[in-house]
Structures are given as structure tokens and as C-alpha cells.
Amino acid sequence: MARKAKRDLTMEEQLARGPLDLPFLMLVLLLLGIGLVMLFSASYYTAYRDSKPPVSNNPYFYITRQALFAAAGVAAMYVVSRINYQHFRWMAPLILGGSIVLLILCYIPGLNAPINDVRRWLKIFLVAGPTYQPSEIAKVAVVLFFAARLCKRDTEHKKRFTKRTGTGRMLNFLEKIGFLELVPYGVVMAVVLGLVVFEPHVSGALLVAAGAAAVLLVSGISLWWFIGIGGLGAALVGIMYVTTSYVQRKFYIWLHPELVDPQDGGYQFWQGIYSIASGGLLGRGLGNSNQKYGFVPEPENDMIFSIVVEELGLVGALLILFLFSMLILRGYWIALHARDKFGMLTTVGIITLLAAQVFLNIGVITGLIPNTGISLPFFSYGGTALMIHLAEMGIILSISRQIPAPRKD
């Protein structure tokens, strides 16, 4: 019997099966590999000293779990990269709605997994399994939703209201200055940021706002709105500083670390600085950090970059920053060459999230900004966060598959 002829691929299927961007993929995998090596070095002693379950003095606990999540994340990145990214247009409202529901669950006792009275975490199956932060999903959900709506901005007609009434004239004015266009985005941001801030997770809210702002700015929203909203944000920070002792203390420790008792608030900062300073130009050598032996708190998490500098030195740290810079620039290159505006806006939003997270983490360690509690992508311990990061990279790789080939003259 003759073999059945293969079905011809549709145009959509052909586009989705194009070559992915190899430089971007290699940079992701390289940073992931270096991150796993440094996590093993930074976490070995901490895990060995931790007798509480599930660690139970197992020095390989953190690296084993992180490696398993990394393998699952790479598989997820590949699967997502094979999906035609156009499907994320109609999926965006569903993903956003789901992320809002998960953020609400963080406030429900018995369903959330509070740590130190902070309600940022849920268990994967709500009653068991590893914990994760729904704000990680909310970040990319907001980017996808904004990109899906704003990509149609150039084809939408401005609304017209009657000029016979004061209300109509006011609405026409608001439409002219772009206020009415921003209302749905403002509502989404108010809901998401409100849920994230009161967990409390101010640093997570900053990342959500950064991704959303990048998409809005690149889509063509007037710069004056960003100046106005930025001023409002600065005013809110000022109000929080005046009315909240917690925020005042954060700023005081940041501005005057030399006046803070190292055992009362300034300990983490100073130990990180000692770690960086002792690295010198070439570092102590991989695995030879002294500060990870009970001095730097949780060196496998937010402070891992200080261990990187101590072991690899200034040269090694600059090399890692160079790799992050190349990844970010390559991401923006993919955005510039994306097939359509949706792909461009989505890539800009995701890459801006990555860039902001790297900046905030390293800025805290070096004392450039107040402590925000932001982890370093691909390096800090956190399996579900790593999987989400890799899935985001998969979205960008999916977009890169449909970059139009250069025309041959």
C-alpha cells in the first residue's frame, strides 16, 4: 500500500517552524550553566549546616533541586519556542485573569504559604509541593496583555462624543489627550500592583511596573504621561517614607550604613561588601569563598552575586555582566526585527523585566539602591522562578523564529 502523502504545512505552521535565534539561545544556556555552578559553590556549606527537613544536612540539596528545575525549564523553553507566538494574543487575557486569581489566593489562610508573615507564596498544588510567587506569573501576564491590546493601537479609531453637552466635550478632551486610552491599562495596573504591594512585595510591584511601562512607552504613548505618572509615583514613595517606619528604616540603612549596627539591619549589606572587596581582581578561586561560611546570609539567594565576585574577582563579575548585557541587547535586537508589533512589544516587555531584575539585584549588593529583595535571574536559588524565566525566554525564541529573512538583491 502506498504511503500516505504528508500534509502540506500551512503558512502559520511554516512561520512557527523557522530557525530560532541561536546567539540568544546560547547566551541563555551559558548564563544558566554558570549560574548552576555558582549556586553549587554558594549553597554547599549552607545546606551542609542546615539540619532541618527537607535539607537534612545534605550539601547537594540546593543544587540537585535547582538542576532538576533547570532541566524542566529548558524543556519548557523549547516547548514554548515551538508555539506560534500569535496564540499568546488570545491567551493573554486568560493568563492575566489566572494570575490575578493566584494573587488573591495569597491572601487566603490555608491556601497561601506565608513565610515570616509575608504572603507572597503559594504551593504548586495549594496544599503540597514547592512554593512559588504568583507575582512572577503576573509580571509576564501584564506584559502579554498590554502587548496584545497595544499592538492594535495604530488601527483603532479615536472615539467621538457629542459636543452638545459638557460631559461630551469633557470626554472629547480626555480622548484627545489620551486619558481614556489609558483607563483600561490603569485599572489592570491598580488591581495587580495593589495585590502585589500589600503582600507585601514592593520589589515585585516595581518589576511589574517596569515591564508595563516599557510596553506602553514603545507602543507610542505620550512621554508626558510617563513624566506625570513618574512624578505621582515619586510622591507616593515620599508619602510612604513619611508615614511608614519600615520604609524610613530601609532608606536610613541605605544612606547611612556606617551608622547602623552591623548586627541590626546593616549586617547583610556589610558582609556582602566584605565579600566583594576580598575578591580583588581575579578572585579567590572557584569554591574558595570565605564569606559563604555563615557570614553572608543565605548566599544562595539574593546575595549570590557577592559570592560570585569573591570567587571570580572583578574580571569574572564583569564577564558575567557582559553576558547579561549581550543577552539584553540581543533581546532588543529581536524586538527590532520582530515580524509584527505584538512580537516587538512582547519582547521589549520581557527583556526589560530581565534587565530591571539584574540591575535591582546588583544595585542592592553594591549599595547603589536600597534593599529590594530581588533575586538574580539564572543564578539565585528558586526552581519555579527559574522555570518561569526560561519559559519567558522561550516566548522570545518563538518570536525570533518568525523574523523575516533578509531580502536578496
Here the cell at position 144 is 502579554
Per-residue pLDDT tens over the stretch 110-156: 777 766 666 777 776 655 566 778 888 999 999 999 999 988 876 66
The rounded distance, in Å, linking the Cα atoms of 259 and 254 is 10
Choose among 184, 128, 91, 9: nearest CA to 391: 91
| Buried-state track 216-230, b at ≥16 Cβ within 10 A, e below 16 | bebbebeeebeeebe
Does residue 22 lie in a domain region? no
Choose among 179, 98, 180: nearest CA to 144: 98
The rounded distance, in Å, linking the Cα atoms of 95 and 141 is 6
- Please check whether residues 258 and 399 belong to one and the same domain: yes
- Please check whether residues 288 and 208 belong to one and the same domain: no
- Please check whether residues 122 and 207 belong to one and the same domain: yes
- Please check whether residues 262 and 400 belong to one and the same domain: yes
Per-residue pLDDT tens over the stretch 215-235: 999 988 878 877 877 777 777
Does residue 130 lie in a domain region? yes
Choose among 186, 181, 188, 185: nearest CA to 99: 188
- Please check whether residues 43 and 137 belong to one and the same domain: no
Q: Is 85 helix (H, G, I), strand (E, B) or coil?
A: coil
Contact status, residue 306 vs residue 296, Cβ threshold 8 Å: yes
The rounded distance, in Å, linking the Cα atoms of 241 and 246 is 8
Here the cell at position 349 is 516587555
Q: What is the pTM assigned to this prediction?
A: 0.88
Q: Is 151 helix (H, G, I), strand (E, B) or coil?
A: coil
- In the DSSP assignment, the letter for residue 352 is H
Q: What is the pLDDT of residue 256?
A: 67
The rounded distance, in Å, linking the Cα atoms of 149 and 146 is 5
10 Å CB burial of residue 306 (0-12, 13-18, 19+) is buried
- Please check whether residues 112 and 59 belong to one and the same domain: no
Does residue 42 lie in a domain region? yes
Beta-bridged to residue 131, according to DSSP, are 123
Per-residue pLDDT tens over the stretch 144-194: 999 999 888 766 666 666 667 767 777 676 666 666 778 888 889 889 988
Decide which of 243, 277, 301 is a domain's last residue. Answer: 243
Q: What is the pLDDT of residue 366?
A: 85
- Alpha-carbon 337 to chain mean position: 23
Looking at residue 275, its amino acid is S
What is the separation, in whole angstroms, between the first and last Cα of the chain? Answer: 46
pLDDT at 322 > cutoff 60 = yes
pLDDT at 313 > cutoff 80 = yes
Higher pLDDT, 36 or 131: 36
Q: Is 202 helix (H, G, I), strand (E, B) or coil?
A: helix
The rounded distance, in Å, linking the Cα atoms of 317 and 389 is 21
CA distances from 42 to 70, 283, 284, 380 (A): 17, 14, 13, 10
- Please check whether residues 277 and 213 belong to one and the same domain: no
- Please check whether residues 267 and 219 belong to one and the same domain: no
Region of 167 (left: φ > 0; alpha: ψ -120 to 50; beta: rest) is: alpha
- Please check whether residues 258 and 388 belong to one and the same domain: yes
pLDDT at 195 > cutoff 80 = yes
pLDDT at 1 > cutoff 90 = no
- Alpha-carbon 243 to chain mean position: 29
- Please check whether residues 300 and 349 belong to one and the same domain: yes
pLDDT at 8 > cutoff 70 = no
Does residue 269 lie in a domain region? yes
Q: What is the mean pLDDT of the chain?
A: 83
Q: Which helix (H) or strand (E) holds 336?
A: helix 304-336
- In the DSSP assignment, the letter for residue 115 is B
- Please check whether residues 68 and 105 belong to one and the same domain: no
Choose among 53, 77, 4, 9: nearest CA to 388: 77
What is the number of structural domains in the chain?
2
Q: How many CB atoms lie within 10 A of CB 194?
A: 11
The rounded distance, in Å, linking the Cα atoms of 247 and 240 is 7
- Please check whether residues 398 and 258 belong to one and the same domain: yes
Decide which of 199, 214, 243 is a domain's last residue. Answer: 243
Does residue 185 lie in a domain region? yes
Residue 27's φ and ψ, nearest 5 degrees, are -65, -40
Choose among 265, 308, 267, 269: nearest CA to 287: 308
Domain range enclosing 224: 99-243
Q: Which helix (H) or strand (E) holds 123?
A: strand 122-123
Does residue 124 lie in a domain region? yes
Decide which of 243, 274, 304 is a domain's last residue. Answer: 243
The rounded distance, in Å, linking the Cα atoms of 312 and 280 is 9
Does residue 27 lie in a domain region? no
